[in-house]
Amino acid sequence: MSDQVDLTTIPISPDGGNKPEGASSEDNDKTVTVFHDKDNFNVKHPLSNRWTLWFTKPASGKGDNWNDLLKEVITFESVEEFWGVYNNIAPVSELALKSDYHLFKEGVRPEWEDPQNKHGGKWSYQFKEKRNISIDDLWLHTMLAAIGETLENEEDGEVMGVVVNVRKAFFRIGVWTRTTGRHVPGRGDGDVAGGKGRSPEKGKEILMTIGKRFKEVLRLPATEQLEFSGHTDSAHSGSTRAKAKFVV
């Protein structure tokens, strides 16, 4: 995973001569989607955004640089390409400890310091009962919710990406947002970086909606709390577990 993978090397589309047994030449003119035939489709479904998958490999020592551990894997733009990628990478349950997958909109690095992330935050939840959690299924549905744009409304423009962390004591899944739903002095009305003139109240409403939808994706019971914290707060606390700004 050290270099960008050539998309053509991944089986995301059928071979030209790979027709189902008994298929006629007329079948070539028919619209066949991946939902009709997972191997012999001829139409792709474009996503609203291009997405890039990143991978963080475990550190080998204390001197490892984060940029050396974070690797860009591949960028895709259709439903079919997503499944081609997903079916050809290791599932979360088989990753080594201290590994991470990051799925972010193209052009956004999965780092707090990225200009499109630095004023944002994240909703996250830790699954501590690792043996009783179907982490592969939960991560798949989180990615599908992100690329399917169902975590937010079309005009919100908040979701930057989703992340899964593999640790000794837990799995953590998170959704990164562009803003934190609060007013920043000197930045004008509304939030920074994509706030689009929103009031703090509107910004909070949008983030809370994302949190509620994410909680449903993770299938969390009403008694469990999903927490939102700002990246700046996490950086200042020296931990990814900063004090929660919002909970749902």
CATH, residue 68: 3.30.760.10
Q: Cα separation of 31 and 244, whole Å?
A: 49
Domain holding 113, by residue range, is 7-20+27-247
Q: What percent of the chain has pLDDT over 70?
A: 76
Q: Is residue 1 part of a domain?
A: no
Strands 159-166, 99-105: pairing is antiparallel
Hey, what amino acid is at 111?
E
In 17-64, DSSP assigns E strands to: 46-56
Interval 51-72 mean pLDDT = 88
Q: Cα separation of 208 and 202, whole Å?
A: 10
* 3-class secondary-structure state, position 54: strand
Name the average pLDDT for the chain: 82
Contact 83, 127 (CB under 8 A): no
pLDDT band at 198 (very low <50, low <70, confident <90, very high): confident
pLDDT of 163 strictly over 90? yes
Q: Is residue 2 part of a domain?
A: no
Q: Which residues of 31-63 are buried (b: 16+ CB within 10 A; e: fewer)?
A: ebebeeeeebbbeeeebeeebbbbbbbeeeeee
pLDDT of 236 strictly over 60? no
Helix locations, 179-230, DSSP H: 200-217
Domains identified in the chain, total number:
1
Q: How far is CA 191 from the centre of its chain?
A: 22
pLDDT of residue 182: 66
Beta-carbon contacts of 133 under 8 Å, excluding residues fewer than 6 positions away, are 127, 171
**pTM of the predicted protein model:** 0.79
Q: Is residue 201 part of a domain?
A: yes
Task: At 200, list the tokens.
Answer: 């703090």
pLDDT of 183 strictly over 70? no
Q: Is residue 139 part of a domain?
A: yes
pLDDT of 231 strictly over 50? yes
Q: Checking phi first, is residue 86 left (phi over 0); if not, alpha (psi -120 to 50) or beta? A: alpha
| Cβ neighbourhood burial of 8 (10 Å; 0-12, 13-18, 19+) | exposed
| Nearest by Cα to 77 from 108, 49, 110 | 49
Q: What percent of the chain has pLDDT over 90?
A: 61
